[in-house]
Amino acid sequence: MQQQRDVVIGLEVHVQLTSLKTKLFCSCPSDYRGKPPNTYTCPVCLGLPGSLPVVNKKAIEFAVMAALALNCQVSERAVFFRKNYFYVDMSKNFQISMYDRAGGTPIGRGGYVDIDVDGTRKRVRISRIQLEEDPARLVHLGPIEFSPYTLVDYNRAGIALLEIVTEPDLSSPKEARIFLQKLRSILEHCGIFDGSLEGSMRCDANISLAGGARVEIKNITSFKEVERALSFEIARQRELLKRGQQVRRETRHWDEDRRMTFTLRVKEEEHDYRYFPEPDLVPIVITEGFIERVRSMMPELPDHRAERFMREYGLPEYDARVLTSEKALADFFEACVKLYPNPKKVSNWLMTDTMRVLNEYNLDWSSIKMKPEHLAELLKLMDDGVISIKIAKLLIFDVVLRGIPPSKLVEEKGMKRIVDVNYLSQLVEKVFQEFPK
Ligand code: ZN
Ligand code: MN
């Protein structure tokens, strides 16, 4: 029986398969970021009449791997559908996507992700995971509703996307953020996704409060934004309900810069996308052998890695979970422990001191300049008595933010610890003489 919850949240996440070299249905390169607009295109991803799509086999492999990693049941057959709509971001006026009705099956169904919220495990069910093509990127001048024009960049059109839909199992903005973080870590461990790339993970959220209708929030561009967007929406809906007003069923747009949501469209009924099977693509048969082959290639996933960190390095569960919450962080930890075999100390310096620097400058792990050998060197300098812990906590700012080796910083800044007692007593004498009071 479903317990009555005050806040009910479900997510629909779009994740680019950034490790693919080419797009989903053509051989255009997929590293479109930073390239001149509309240069990574061909007749297929421009949707020109007569062009024919061919499925990227590697994309199917990656999607099956993601489905397995999210504990889903993998379908035996994947059929692409046309999702028809008229909008400039899809020049052929339909998106090739999988569909879970009318004989269609998504690539995976009925999975789950376990997340840790304040020390408690919680299971978030995944209703489905499917493969589809990314639409073009739209560029506006200022906020979308005031922009005098829309620019379209088809470089992104046709990039392979995974659509991952959760059941409405989340109960707070914080849980939503933790879920997306975990999802990112899982997909990064699979080696199919790099979450540090701008716009590689986007999310729509459904949220309802007891007594109000369900509101959909579109255009949340990162897992950090999701917490903000949902918090704003909860406050807005609570205020309406408190004043006895209605929360209408609608779709709202999250404006990252102004940090607010506003009405995009009021939903009278479901969109009619007139889905039908894509006649230019044959159904894809996913054999048991194919699934087993993908399963055998599966790398270690975050939950297993955390367990290994506890076993192999004797870390407390909390440390193990935090360190594996991001693949790059877990990789850093292991590389550093190889050079400085004191796991708990390395963990402490990563989780407290390094994180403090990043938080202070509002940076995430991907922008860190520190190398594992730098942290190992810093810890050794302390062990050897060359620097004190106080100095180390000062130096780590320059190491993290600028990637300067600690030994060089000590040399440059003359921050060596003074161990000569005679010299120190002379200094003390001198200070007392100059400032007798
Ligand atoms: Zn193309
Ligand atoms: Mn979609």
Task: Please write the tens of the pLDDT for every residue from 402-415.
Answer: 998 998 888 887 76
Angle between helices 173-190 and 327-339 (to 10 degrees): 60
Q: How far is the CA of 184 from the centre of ligand 1 (A)?
A: 27
Q: How far is the CA of 136 from the centre of ligand 1 (A)?
A: 12
Q: How far is the CA of 214 from the centre of ligand 1 (A)?
A: 37
Question: CA 205, CA 342: separation in Å to the nearest integer?
Answer: 42
- Round to the nearest angstrom and report the end-to-end CA distance of the chain: 75
Both tokens of 135, joined, read: 């639409």
Q: How far is the CA of 128 from the centre of ligand 1 (A)?
A: 27
What distances in angstroms separate CA 34 from CA 40, 45, 364, one per listed residue?
A: 11, 18, 21
**Ligand with minimal distance to 161 CA:** 2
Question: CA 56, CA 258: separation in Å to the nearest integer?
Answer: 39
* pLDDT at residue number 2: 46
Residues, CB within 5 angstroms of ligand 1 (ion)? 26, 28, 42, 44-45
Instruction: List residues bridging with 116 in a β-sheet.
Output: 121
* pLDDT at residue number 267: 61
* pLDDT at residue number 1: 41
**Ligand with minimal distance to 96 CA:** 2
Q: Does pLDDT of 3 surpass 60?
A: no
**Ligand with minimal distance to 99 CA:** 2
Which residue spans within 247-391 are E strands per DSSP? 250-255, 260-266, 276-277, 284-285
Q: Which residue has the tokens 């779709």?
A: 251
Q: How far is the CA of 201 from the centre of ligand 2 (A)?
A: 12
96 phi, psi to nearest 5 deg: -85, 120
Q: Do residues 178 and 117 touch, judged by C-beta distance below 8 A?
A: yes
**Ligand with minimal distance to 134 CA:** 2
What distances in angstroms separate CA 36 from CA 78, 154, 354, 402, one per listed residue?
A: 34, 10, 36, 30
Averaged pLDDT for residues 340-366: 92
**DSSP string computed for 198-216:** TTSEEEEEEEEETTS--EE
Res. 93 pLDDT band, cuts 50 70 90: very high
Both tokens of 208, joined, read: 């309802």
Could you give the dihedral angle defined by the CA atoms of residues 213, 214, 215 and 220, in that order, rounded to the nearest 10 degrees? 160
* pLDDT at residue number 269: 57
